[in-house]
Amino acid sequence: MRLREEAEDSVILVSNKEGVRMLLREDLEKREIEILSPFACKSAMSRGRAVPEEKCLIRTEFQRDRDRIIHSKSFRRLMHKTQVFLAPEGDHFRTRLTHTIEVSQIARTIARSLNLNEDLTEAIALGHDLGHTPFGHNGEEILNMVHPGGFEHNIQSLRVVDVLESSSSRNGMNLTEEVRDGIVNHTGGGKPFTLEGQIVKISDRIAYINHDIDDALRSNVISMEDIPSSSLKLFGYSHRERIDNMVTDVIVNSQDKEEILQSKEFRLELNDLRNFMFAHVYKSSRVKREEDLAKVEVVIKSLYKYFLKNTEKLPSDLQEIARIDGAGEAVKDYVAGMTDRFALNIYTELFVPKSWK
């Protein structure tokens, strides 16, 4: 196919030999400005990257960010990281990767309905959990205890895209400021400055509460009779109904607003449902047996302490980080980046006598 660039009204046109018009970045940027909501974040008006780059001929800045995240090693590792259930017996339990995909789907639906920027929304959603530890939030809690600087997965996610995912420099993925802001503020008290980032923040909660209910029901940790009747009455009695009603509530209450909102009724009930999940699922001994939690603690602490004393055993790129940022920071980066099975394999290699394997 032969590409031909033509100037017309400051928009690049591309044709193939049959004369079929193709879209390039400048066309997409113009389309965003003409079509998207005035509240949407337009890629042509991005605050930019820490290190300026030549723009892509075909993709917008937010599309490039999304692609960089999808092709990263840290994104691929999410498939082998625990969401909630430690060592689940079954193929249908959510992982950190499937959670990320579900957040992305919910967030894109909301962004599309509100005529906001889907590409920015998707990039933030796909990158929001890149910094999660092995063994879910339990791994996060243990690493937070053992690492002197503490540990929060959203801050680590930002560090992944800013520093760790880099082959030749400390520029990391060099993502746009809008995507970086959405990633670091997807949880906690921070508020993303774009509506697209705010969408991901509420979509994350909608996704994990509903898919964790689904997994808990499948594993008989809870039954439908256990779920608060007020939540079932308001949100729905099926997985599909609950997500649809929550998403619709966000869309209806955010239309033509400069903020992403839920109705007060839905917001309060969702908080109550989240509290129920903490009491009956996330802290349940049936989901996380004490002996399994103890094993996780031993693995995380042992690996952290070992590599802190033996930084020469770290991969070469992390040895460089140790020289620049300190040994503790590099070891925290290494342990947090491990998948569940890699952490267990390394622990076995280091601490379990070969005759016991």
> Phi and psi for 183 in degrees, rounded to 5?
-65, -50
Q: How far apart are CA 320 and CA 170, in angstroms?
A: 10
What digits encode the pLDDT tens for the residues 56-96? 999 999 999 999 999 999 999 999 988 765 555 555 577 89
152 CB-near residues (< 8 Å, 6+ apart): 140, 144, 188
Distance CA 330, CA 327 (A): 5
Q: Which of 209-218, 258-267, 287-296 has the lowest mean pLDDT?
A: 287-296
Q: For 174-195, what is each residue's pLDDT tens digit?
A: 999 999 999 999 999 999 999 9
Distance in angstroms (rounded) separating the CA atoms of residues 51 and 277:
42
Query: Alpha-carbon distance 1 to 18, whole Å?
Result: 9
Q: Looking at the predicted structure, is the pLDDT value of residue 10 above 50?
A: no
pLDDT at 18: 62
Statement: residue 353 has pLDDT above 90: no
Asked if pLDDT for residue 225 goes beyond 60, the answer is: yes
Which is nearest to 64 in space by CA: 72, 54, 56, 74?
56
pLDDT for res 352: 86
Give the pTM: 0.91
Looking at residue 12, its pLDDT comes to: 45
CB 150 within 8 Å of CB 332: no
Closest CA to 237 of 217, 267, 262: 217
